[in-house]
Amino acid sequence: MKLIILGPPGAGKGTQAQHICNSYNIHHVSVGDMLRDEVGKQTEKGKLIDSYIKKGNLIPDKMITEIMKEKLSSDSCKNGYLLDGFPRTLIQGEELAKFQDIDAVFNINVDDEILAERLTGRRVCLKCKEVDHITKNKEEICKKCGEKLSIRDDDKDADIILNRIQIYHQLTEPLINFYTNKGVLHNVYSGLGASIEVYNQIKEILDGNSKK
């Protein structure tokens, strides 16, 4: 299975990706985590990437497409994958379509007012990449590996969060039509309910597809 999960920052792409990949045993390609790992290595490339991420801006299309071509041709992706964070512009979508056929795209719909609350309260584990929220984990200790949870740099400033949401509407949203026209887009809805409710919508579609 070659899948994509789309949605604005804070929609729950990473959260759903973890559920899907654990259940269906496919590789989770979190582009944000890959980029943050590169930033952590303090390489020249990492410093350049950091200069975009910390302002909430996108990495240039050419650079991210080269990174993704290399990643998707690696052994880790040969049995299927779920892309979380790529493509994020029409140019990236068109480039991806030149070398990969995608089976399904899940578009998570969430109101903008909910997104900021999710992002300011998000806590992440730098060791095992688990994602949690301050309202569900007041101790701020990772439930999976016991590490102290952290706040992502791009979640610390309200203006940066707003910039990320605006960039989503301007540059990423056109991908919804792009994949609708290809006949692979599925809308799912996330509101104030638990993340398992969103996963159940995705599971129903995936299980339905596999029975066809």
The catalytic residue positions are 13, 88, 122, 152, 164
CB atoms within 10 A of CB 15: 24
Q: Which residues contact 152 (CB under 8 A, 6 or more apart)?
A: 36, 122, 124
66-72's contacts with Cβ under 8 Å and 24+ in sequence apart are 67/34, 68/31, 68/92, 68/96, 69/99, 71/29, 71/34, 72/29, 72/99, 72/100
Report the candidate in 193, 141, 196, 142 with the shortest Cα–Cα distance to residue 15: 196
How near is the Cβ of 211 to ligand AP5 at its closest, in Å? 26
77: amino acid identity, one letter: C
Q: How far is the CB of 116 from ligand AP5 (least distance, A)?
A: 11
Nearer to ligand AP5, 129 or 206 (CB): 129
From 55-63, 72-80, 175-183, 201-209, give the range in contact with ligand AP5 by CB under 6 A. 55-63
Dihedral angle, C-alpha 93, 100, 189, 9, nearest 10 °:
-50
From 51-59, 72-80, 98-106, 174-182, give the range in contact with ligand AP5 by CB under 6 A.
51-59
User: What type of residue is 143?
Assistant: K
53 near ligand AP5, rule: CB under 6 A:
yes
Task: List the x/- string, 83-122, binding to ligand AP5 by CB under 6 A.
Answer: --xxxx---x-------------------------xx-xx
At 25 the three-state DSSP class reads coil
- 76/210 with CB nearer ligand AP5: 76
Q: Tell me if 65 contacts ligand AP5 by CB under 6 A.
A: no
Q: Of these, 59, 91, 126, 151, which contacts ligand AP5 (CB under 6 A)?
A: 59
Site string for ligand AP5, 179-198 (x = CB under 6 A): -----------x----x--x
Helix or strand or coil: residue 139?
Answer: coil
Instruction: Outline where 73-211 has alpha helix (H).
Output: 90-99, 112-121, 158-167, 174-181, 195-211
Residue nearest to ligand AP5 (CB): 32
- The contact set with ligand AP5 (CB under 6 A) reads 7, 9-15, 31-32, 35, 52-53, 56-59, 64, 85-88, 92, 118-119, 121-122, 131-133, 154, 164, 190, 195, 198
